Structure 1
């Protein structure tokens, strides 16, 4: 079995500081094999905010798969936005914006969907789609393949009019051909799990999309601060939703979902 902690939308610069140390304690207590951070580490991509994010991440277990979000690209610094969009991310967080981890049970690939020309929405380019094919198609089908992006490739039904990442249709065809299993994302600050078959009717294929809400930001959009724990043991994936308990000052499991990989997709078991 492998355990992945999935946190997202930390937003240093607009953070609920009472949640930070309890989040660190909760993540450590899970003893994850991999920690995934699906973007928006900062609010305005400043050096100070990235330094805070770096110090926070240093207290979490490794290995870590960390991708940037649209808030990690400078907004008001026009030169930085268009000529060095990830300079502070690479300086303070990681030189690699598209990390990869694999062992004999899971393969986890991060893709950077943040773009200088889009202030909120994201995009995947042809080179990245080729990278997905190169990484995932060569891996044994018994290994659970996990893609991490900030901007999601699919959305909950109530968010159907919102925007998914650009070129998602093209990317999903490659995901299907390589048998990608799990798609982890953030961006909308909503916790949700669902299959891709409704939006992408690809015969014989449906991936499981797992959204994480904001772990520490004050921008909860009606949802408590939260993060996910995925316990993977093919053909099962159990997703534990940890929510912030203000009165107790701790993160606790609020909901647990168990999915089984069966035939053309994932079934709630």
Structure 2
């Protein structure tokens, strides 16, 4: 890369229950960062209502382009009898009329390939429909897109639910097929898997393949905080490193809450350790 690639990762804005001051200030801060890409990882709305989708679309239209959006479990109508009917007959109509289908949301250039994955479900054979799921067909499609990326391109997957549980996180995702998906994406060379859902930022490597696929979660821009202030992620990538900055709302502005730096790609050093994970070392460039 001739210059660092910069992207913004937002998630869980929950229009209808958004943090109004943080949401408004985020527009100015995101423009100031001059990102190459803005990614919204689901739960744009609180209850999937038309007015909430209109507010989400209006807010996203104020952000820099290009952008990529994927849905979350709250982006399916579910509050009230009429909304449940919409969930039955056309669960994605409101979302797709504004943001398009998954395939229309993929994005790539010679430097970066980003693949969107919908882990939300209108119905599941379990009581809690908010949990995520990934089908075998979805895994095959995402892996095919990753393998078609330009040589040396950064490979990113975006979905709403963390595919593997965050240890010590404020809530769980329990994604059906999530472990298989994480393993397949790691083997396909994904560098980052960007998610939301748990309303708390995190970074951790998947314990598969070369151990270099990083799971990155962003916080929320809603009032539904779970131990972390409202915020979003700034991610900067150059030829050597990936730097993730979790920004948090503090009174009147966004401040740095936590930062991570991981190597752009790494190689096995000594094979599996006693925990079954692979020790890795930075790739010399």
Q: TM-score, normalized by length of structure 1?
A: 0.90
Shift of 1:183: 0.5
Q: CA RMSD in A?
A: 1.9
Q: Give 3-state SS (helix, strand or coil) of 2:9's partner.
A: strand
Counterpart CA distance in 2 for 1:23 and 1:267 is 36
Counterpart CA distance in 1 for 2:78 and 2:233 is 29
Shift of 1:137: 1.1
2:62 is matched with which residue? Answer: 59
Counterpart CA distance in 2 for 1:166 and 1:85 is 20
Counterpart CA distance in 1 for 2:162 and 2:222 is 19
1:226-241 to 2 correspondences below 5 Å: 226-241=231-246
Counterpart CA distance in 1 for 2:223 and 2:122 is 25
2:89 alignment partner, one of 60, 83, 86: 83
1:12 is matched with which residue? Answer: 15
Q: Which moved more, 1:145-154 or 1:79-88?
A: 79-88
Cα offsets for 1:5-37 (capped at 9, x unmatched): 000000001112111221000111111111000
Counterpart CA distance in 1 for 2:170 and 2:228 is 19
1:254 is matched with which residue? Answer: 257
Counterpart CA distance in 2 for 1:82 and 1:206 is 40
Shift of 1:187: 0.3
1:120 is matched with which residue? Answer: 130
1:94 is matched with which residue? Answer: 99
Counterpart CA distance in 2 for 1:12 and 1:52 is 7
Structure 1's unaligned 5+ residue stretches are none
Shift of 1:87: 1.0
Counterpart CA distance in 1 for 2:52 and 2:217 is 24
1:155-166 to 2 correspondences below 5 Å: 155-159=165-169, 162-166=172-176
Counterpart CA distance in 2 for 1:251 and 1:10 is 15
Preserved CA contact (<8 Å) 1:259 1:267: no
Shift of 1:203: 4.1
Counterpart CA distance in 2 for 1:83 and 1:23 is 35
2:117 alignment partner, one of 106, 111, 127: 111
Counterpart CA distance in 2 for 1:81 and 1:72 is 10
Matched, 1:192 2:218: no
1:143 is matched with which residue? Answer: 153
Cα offsets for 1:242-266 (capped at 9, x unmatched): 11011xx111223322111321487
Preserved CA contact (<8 Å) 2:173 2:197: no
Cα offsets for 1:187-237 (capped at 9, x unmatched): 01011111111xxxx3434410101010x2010012100110110113310
Q: Give 3-state SS (helix, strand or coil) of 1:48's partner.
A: helix
Q: Give 3-state SS (helix, strand or coil) of 2:198's partner.
A: coil
1:47 is matched with which residue? Answer: 50
Q: Which structure would you say has the larger Rg? A: 2
Shift of 1:83: 2.1
Matched, 1:74 2:84: no
